[in-house]
Structure 1
C-alpha cells in the first residue's frame, strides 16, 4: 500500500489521519509520506523512496537512525523485559550520567515524555513556592498540558486558551514576548510575590529557531532570584543538542529546574525533570508534590539513553556545528540568488531558514516569514529526497550520521527549486 492509500485509510481511523497534528502536512498544502525504515542519515518510505533526514524524529536522533551502539543496548535491554513497573539499574545509571553532565540537576525524576517533564516541573515549582502564577513566552512550546496552551508555539494554539481548556486553567499563565525582558520585569513588579516560576526555552525551537539576545537569560535569572521564583529551562530540544551540557552550559546560566527529553532516550519515549536537591525533595514520596508514571524509567529507554550519552562523549560537537553553519550559509545564499532573502537562525546542529529579510527575535517576527514560499520550497525539496519539517516554524536538525555527500545533495536540491 502506498502513502496516498495509507493516508486515506488512516483518516478513517485517526483524527486527520495522524497521531500528532503537524504530521498531516496541512501547513504545506500536502499529504504525509509514510515511513517504513530509517538508517543513519536516511528515511525510506513505504514506496522505497530515500530521503536525507533533517527532522530526525523532531530532534532525538542526533547520532542518526539505528546507531549500532544504541540499537545494541536497546536490544539487550528488551531481552530482559520491556517494562517492570519497579526500580531498575538503568534508571540509576542514566540519572547519574545526566547529573554529571548537567550539574544543576542534583536530583532528577524520569518520566515518559517532554510534556510530562514540563507539567511536572510546573507543579513542583508551584508546590514548593506556594504560588500559582507563572510566566511563559509567546511561541515557546512546553508540550500540550493545559496550562501551557496559552500562546504556544509549534502546531498549538497561538492565542490564550484552546478548545477543551477552560479559561480558569490559563488565568494564572502570564505571557511575554520572547527576548522581551522588560515585559517579564513588568509582571514581577505587578505581582512578583504570586509568581512561582518562569519557564523558557533557552533557545526557542518551536517558532522556528530563535536565539536569546545577549543578557536575556541572565536577566531572567536575576529577576527570579530577586523575587524568589524558580527559573525553569525547558531543554527538551536543547539538552545535549547545543552543547554536551545543554544550553545552560553554552550560555553559562544556572536554572533552578531543567526539563529534558528527546536525546536522553536515544529515540525511545522519555523525559526527565530535575534541579537542586532541596527543590526535588518536595516530590513524593519524600515531599507532598505528587507525580507518578507506569513506564517512567523503563529499562529499554534507559539503556538507549545511556548508550546515546556514552556515544556523544566521543563526538566532535564543534565540527558538526561548523558543517551545519556552512550548509545553512550556502542554502541562504542560493535562495537569496533566486530573489528570496532568507534569515538564517542556527546554533550547533539546529537551524531554521525563514523566508524574510527581517531579523527574527520572537513569535511576532517569526509570524511575518512567508509561509507560502516555504511551502513551495518544502514540496520541491521533498520531491528531490530532502526530508524537512512540514512547517516553516520548526527546527531542522543535522546529525553525526550526516556525511558531506548528504549536505552536497541538499545544496544541489536547493539550486533546483523554482519559485
Structure 2
C-alpha cells in the first residue's frame, strides 16, 4: 500500500471525508488523493516521492512558483518578530497602500483571512450601506461558503434561489436571486422587477469554479449600468482572478469599475490573506466608523502579510504578466492543437495565468454549456495525466493555474503528456 493510500485511510478516521476541503477528496474523479510533502517552482512531490508538474498552485496563490526564495525569506524574518499580536502593525498599512495603488477602484480596504470572509463581509456591507436585502448572483459562480451564497437557481426565470447545502435555511437564501452568467436580458428583467430592492450584484468577472468562463463585455457593462441607475452596489469577486489575470485584476483588463472588490489567493502569497475594499464612502459604513460589524482576530496576520506583500512587489516586475500570459497561451494552444489532431471534442481557453480545458466542441460561455461537457472523459483524462506526472484540478469544474516557473520545457512536457493521455483514453 502506498503512503498516499495509508494517509488517506488514517485521515478518514479523524477528518470528515479525509480532507479539509471537499475538492481535495477526489470524489468527483475517483481514486486516492495525493498527500503533498514538498513543493518548489512548478513542481510538487507526494508522500510516495512522485514528482508532478503542478497546475493547481494552491488554487491560484503560487503565481511566482512554489517556495519562491524572496517570499520564504520574508516569512522567515517575520516569524522571528512574533507570530500574531492582535494589534495593528505597519505591515498592514503597507499592504493596504499597495492594494489601493494597484487597484484604483479600491480607496479603502479591510484585510481578512479568507475569500469567504471577504465576500460575506462585502455583501453585509452592501446591504448595510443601501439598507436593502436582495442580492443577485449568477449560476456557476462560487463566492465562498457563506449561507446566502450557497444557492442554486430557482425553478423559473427570476425566481429566488434554493439552498445547495444542508444546514442552510431557506430563509437565508430567499433574498438571493440567481441568474444565468453572461445573460444580459435576464439581468435587465431582474432590475425591472426588483431594482429598488437590490442591494448588490456580486459576480466573478472571470469565473473559475465552473471551469474557466469569461464574462462578456456586454454582460459587465450591463450590470455596471444597471447598478448605477438603481443605486445598487456592484461587487467584483476577484478572490481567484485578482492579480491572476492582470496586475490590476480583471477590472483593469476589462475596463469596468466596481464599487466593492473581494480579493484573496495571490495577495497572501500562499498564506491566509484576503481583503475587501472599494469606495471610501461605502467603506465608512464599517465598524468602528459605521454600523456594519466585521472583525477577525487573525486579520492582517504579520507572517501572512509578509508573504503577500512580497508577492505583490515581485509581480510588478516588468513584463511579468506578458510572460505569464504567453506561457499560459502556449499551453492552451498546445491543447487545442491536440484536439484538432486527434479529432476529438477537446478544447482550452486562457486569460492571464488562468486556463480551462473542456471536453466539448467549443469553449463554453455559461454554466449550462459547461454542464454539457463530457465529464466521464475528463475523469479518465485526469488520471492518465496524473500517471504521466501532471497534476490538474481533480474536477471538471475548476480552472487551472500557470506560474512564472512554468517554463517552455515544462509546458512542452505537459502538452506531450496530454497527447499521450488523450490517445490512451480515446482509443477504441
Q: Normalising to structure 2: TM-score of the pair?
A: 0.95
Name 2:397's counterpart in structure 1: 393
1 CA distance for matches of 2:64 and 2:245?
Answer: 14
Determine if contact 2:264/2:274 at 8 Å carries over to the other structure: yes
Q: Summarize the alignment of residues 16-415 of structure 1 with structure 2, pairs less than 5 Å apart.
A: 16-151=17-152, 160-314=163-317, 315-415=319-419
Residue aligned with 1:58, SS? coil
Give the CA deviation at 1:343. 3.2
Give the CA deviation at 1:337. 2.8
**Count of matched residue positions in the alignment of Structure 1 and Structure 2:** 414
Deviation readout 1:181-219 (Å, 9 max, x if unpaired): 111111111111110000000111110000112311111
Residue aligned with 1:401, SS? coil
Residue aligned with 2:152, SS? coil
Q: 1:182 to 1:160 in 2, by over 3 A?
A: farther
2 CA distance for matches of 1:181 and 1:412?
Answer: 40
1 CA distance for matches of 2:419 and 2:384?
Answer: 11
Give the CA deviation at 1:86. 0.6
Determine if contact 1:335/1:414 at 8 Å carries over to the other structure: no
1 CA distance for matches of 2:46 and 2:390?
Answer: 12
Residue aligned with 1:27, SS? coil
Deviation readout 1:127-185 (Å, 9 max, x if unpaired): 01000000000000000000000029xxxxx9644210000000000010000111111
Determine if contact 1:107/1:275 at 8 Å carries over to the other structure: yes
2 CA distance for matches of 1:343 and 1:219?
Answer: 29
Determine if contact 2:204/2:237 at 8 Å carries over to the other structure: yes
Q: 1:254 to 1:41 in 2, by over 3 A?
A: same
1 CA distance for matches of 2:322 and 2:152?
Answer: 34
Give the CA deviation at 1:359. 4.0
Determine if contact 1:161/1:170 at 8 Å carries over to the other structure: no
Determine if contact 1:332/1:341 at 8 Å carries over to the other structure: no
Give the CA deviation at 1:340. 2.1
2 CA distance for matches of 1:401 and 1:258?
Answer: 28
| Structure 1: gaps spanning 5 or more residues | 153-157
Give the CA deviation at 1:94. 0.6
2 CA distance for matches of 1:99 and 1:342?
Answer: 40
1 CA distance for matches of 2:305 and 2:330?
Answer: 34
1 CA distance for matches of 2:49 and 2:295?
Answer: 41
Give the CA deviation at 1:358. 3.7
1 CA distance for matches of 2:380 and 2:164?
Answer: 31
2 CA distance for matches of 1:360 and 1:331?
Answer: 16
Deviation readout 1:93-120 (Å, 9 max, x if unpaired): 0100000000111001000000000000
1 CA distance for matches of 2:179 and 2:418?
Answer: 36
Give the CA deviation at 1:91. 0.5
Deviation readout 1:225-278 (Å, 9 max, x if unpaired): 000000000000111111100011000000000000000011001110000000
Q: Normalising to structure 1: TM-score of the pair?
A: 0.97
